[in-house]
Structure 1
Amino acid sequence: MKLGEADKIVRILSEKEGIIDAVAKGIRKTKSKFGGRLEPFTYSDLHLYQGRNLDIILQAETINPFKLIREDLRKVALASISCDLILRSQVDKSSERVLNLLLFFLSELERAKDGLKILLLIFETRLLSLLGYQPILDVCCLCGSPLEGRRFSFDFGGEGLVCGSCRPTTTASVSISGSSLLLLRWLFERSPRQWQEISDRSKGVAQVEELLEKYLAYHLEKKPKSYQFLRLMESAEGFSDN
């Protein structure tokens, strides 16, 4: 965010203190001492001065610029979604684990050539788990009855699957297919490093993608605008990982 004639307020995800807003003085000047060290998606070692209202960035050293992400608009769209979700989540006590998740996601995204949507789904499910919003996927989240062999839906307010008997009592639920449920369970249960085992053309991907967007928007109270950027990319050039 611009501040004054030459400064900016930079939003930072820190290892111990959650999200910090800090001023980068003179960053908009041609010969700024920060250079590209405070670009989006950049992992940096920062020295801050604690001010009354806003901290001030005194020094910045780049650890990993994730340069290849900024050279690919598809990857920029996905990285923007990951950062928007974190900023909206108001991370505090779990910030170190969230930072590690983000660094893993950006590292994998930078070198990935295909399967990018699955990688985003892995990030979204892991973030939900860290924030305490992992849905119940083995029994009805309202009555506790088993779901095997029964019709079920995903309920945003009840935070998980609901059986056919409980669905009429909910106000925000959507039907979910068996293939989508299997994929959703896989995403939450497997190690993030196994993300390449699933193709983004597998059955259920489109539905799970839509469901997670809505589930995150429900808990964060608003869908990040970066999802719109991704949709524009898809409609303009056909978001493909071939």
Structure 2
Amino acid sequence: MLDRVEAIVIRTVDYGETNKIITLYTKERGKIGVMARGAKKPRSQLSAVSQPFIYGSFVIYKGSGLGTLNQGDTISSFRKIREDLTLAAYAMYIAEMVDKLTEENQRYLWLFDWLYLSLEKMASGADPEVITRIFEMKMLDVAGISPQLDQCVCCGSTETPVAFSIRFGGFICRSCLHRDEHAFPCSSQTVRLLRLFYEMNLHRLGNISLKKETKQELKQIIRAYYDEYSGVTLKSRRFLDQLERMDLGPNIDT
């Protein structure tokens, strides 16, 4: 049976001398894996469309096992991302998140749009680190590990939180700070941004510039939370962290 899907390539693995197994995140069916026969040959019609981050229309033959890619037409190559080491590292990280935190053939509401818009914003010049922090927050629902962001996770107070507790899974107020001595202190800016990123409609995302201190605070909290609750290890993370440490450019909060 032939099936046409709109998809983004999130992973590629060489298979034998000439073939590739590519993982597509599709608009219609969620994550699927397909065999791209001959895709490693330079003159193959499948060579161009089986590259990471390609957004295209794909025709797949679906049998009883792994599907076979019959045809692909590129809608957007995101060439700027694939030619820039830093952008490619961030894109690979979010693509690996999608791969590791989703189940095969299960469609997650809005996830295709989140992935596409994140790549499109990066390619258009938005800060890739900010886009990645937003994507991480959006993926918490997909992973089934959403934290308590509306009130103190310990007492239910709605006063402005002062810290984020990995142990209790959410913000804590000043009165409950003694309950977790390892909680991450949070500035009011970080509290606002964590809530904003979790709720944000990516279609409305404008230009957000953040100070390095704020970026680091967000990164520490989000990463520690994923480490505690997600149960996945992302190979792309180490290289991405190295690149982030090399970035010395000053930024300002908005």
SS of equivalent to 2:150: coil
- Mean CA deviation greater in 118-127 or 73-82: 118-127
Distance 1:150 1:220 in 2: 24
SS of equivalent to 2:48: coil
RMSD, aligned CA: 2.7
| The one of 55, 61, 72 aligned to 1:43 | 55
Percent of aligned pairs with the same residue? 24
| The one of 146, 150, 157 aligned to 1:146 | 157
CA offsets, 1:106-148, max 9 Å, x none?
Answer: 1110011x5332121122212224444332123222x442052
- Mean CA deviation greater in 14-23 or 59-68: 14-23
Asked if residue 100 in structure 1 is aligned to residue 110 in structure 2, the reply is no
Deviation at 1:23, TM superposition (A): 0.3
| The one of 185, 202, 205 aligned to 2:215 | 205
Tell me, which stretches of 5 or more residues in structure 1 are unaligned? none
| The one of 42, 65, 78 aligned to 2:77 | 65
- Mean CA deviation greater in 82-91 or 123-132: 123-132
| The one of 75, 78, 84 aligned to 2:87 | 75
Q: 1:10 to 1:189 in 2, by over 3 A?
A: closer
TM-score (norm: length of structure 1):
0.84
SS of equivalent to 2:49: coil
| The one of 199, 217, 223 aligned to 1:189 | 199
SS of equivalent to 1:126: helix
Q: 1:100 to 1:150 in 2, by over 3 A?
A: closer
Q: How does 1:215-226 map onto structure 2 within 5 Å?
A: 215-226=225-236
TM-score (norm: length of structure 2):
0.80
How many correspondences in the alignment? 236
Deviation at 1:205, TM superposition (A): 2.1
Tell me, which stretches of 5 or more residues in structure 2 are unaligned? 1-12
SS of equivalent to 2:110: helix
Deviation at 1:93, TM superposition (A): 4.2
| The one of 187, 197, 205 aligned to 1:178 | 187
SS of equivalent to 2:221: helix
Q: 1:150 to 1:225 in 2, by over 3 A?
A: closer
Distance 2:210 2:40 in 1: 40
